[in-house]
Amino acid sequence: MMLRVFYRTIKTMALTRSPKYAENNQPFTVLIEGNIGSGKTTFLNHFNKFDDICLLSEPVERWQDVGGCNLLDLMYKESNRWAMPFQTYVTLTMLEMHTKPTDKSVKIMERSLFSSRYCFVENMYANGTLHKGMYQILQDWYRFIEKSIHIQADLIVYLRTSPEVVFERMKTRARSEESCVPLKYLEELHVSHEDWLVHRKRGNPNTPVLILNADLDLENIGSEYKRSEDSIFKASIREPIMREPIYVSPSKRERLSS
């Protein structure tokens, strides 16, 4: 008798679960992911022409001025000391973007909490930048967020590049904080993105991934962005899409995989 009451209580609790924060107020959400210098901001700018899309760029300016402190610069220059506070602040600012209300039917975000977790934090831990204790604290935060805050992610667009290409782009744009970033770091981040979005070793395998060839120069990349429009808008009206990574330019798949 007591066992039957116990199971009934558990079932009732499961059926009456309180919704997570921001669970019912987010539109179809697209996450733009890729290495440093892969063209994420340029991709976002391509969608400025659409009135019914909320565009949220990576909050770099906030990371550069936290009460007068440039956390991004400190993270690059003294990574062993500043990686943990920087990633903590990245988590906060990304959560604000994820949960930001909008009356638009589509939200497109530059990067996400997921790339912070599955690419940057994992890479920092693997290369020894993050102490095991710091890493475990961040994992506890991520688990708490998973349980209590809804992170909408309907489609991921992966701007796939080679590390050598983005290294040259990074040098060209000459962001002061990135002046000390070596090619090796970009190679590590490339592997992290591939493990997450191509090989699906981390994260939610049910979130569809659209892969674009972002090695193209600015004169030709617009055609890739244009082709992505159909995939995004078809998905936003809930048409069935494949769970395996989708290559918008299949002819380039072999070259990118090599």
Q: Is 111 annotated as a binding residue?
A: no
Q: Is 16 annotated as a binding residue?
A: no
Q: 61 an active-site residue?
A: no
Q: Is 9 annotated as a binding residue?
A: no
Q: Are 47 and 105 in contact (CB under 8 A)?
A: no
Q: Is 108 annotated as a binding residue?
A: no
Q: Is 206 annotated as a binding residue?
A: no
Q: Is 39 annotated as a binding residue?
A: yes
Q: Is 222 annotated as a binding residue?
A: no
Q: Are 76 and 177 in contact (CB under 8 A)?
A: yes
Q: Which two tokens stand for residue 89?
A: 């602040």
Q: Is 107 annotated as a binding residue?
A: no
Q: Is 4 annotated as a binding residue?
A: no
Q: Which of 58, 110, 122, 224 is catalytic?
A: 110
Can you tell me the distance from the alpha carbon of 146 to that of 155, in angstroms, rounded to the nearest whole number?
A: 18
Q: Is 169 annotated as a binding residue?
A: yes
What radius of gyration do the chain's Cα atoms show?
A: 20
Q: Is 128 annotated as a binding residue?
A: no
Q: Are 118 and 151 in contact (CB under 8 A)?
A: no
Backbone angles phi, psi at 31, to 5 degrees: -105, 125
75 strand-pairing partners:
none
Which residues, 6 or more positions from 99, have their beta carbon under 8 angstroms from its beta carbon?
21, 22, 26, 149, 150
Provide the 3-class DSSP secondary structure of residue 5: helix
Provide the 3-class DSSP secondary structure of residue 160: strand
Show which residues are catalytic.
Answer: 110
Binding residues for ATP: 34-42, 169-173
Binding residues: 34-42, 169-173
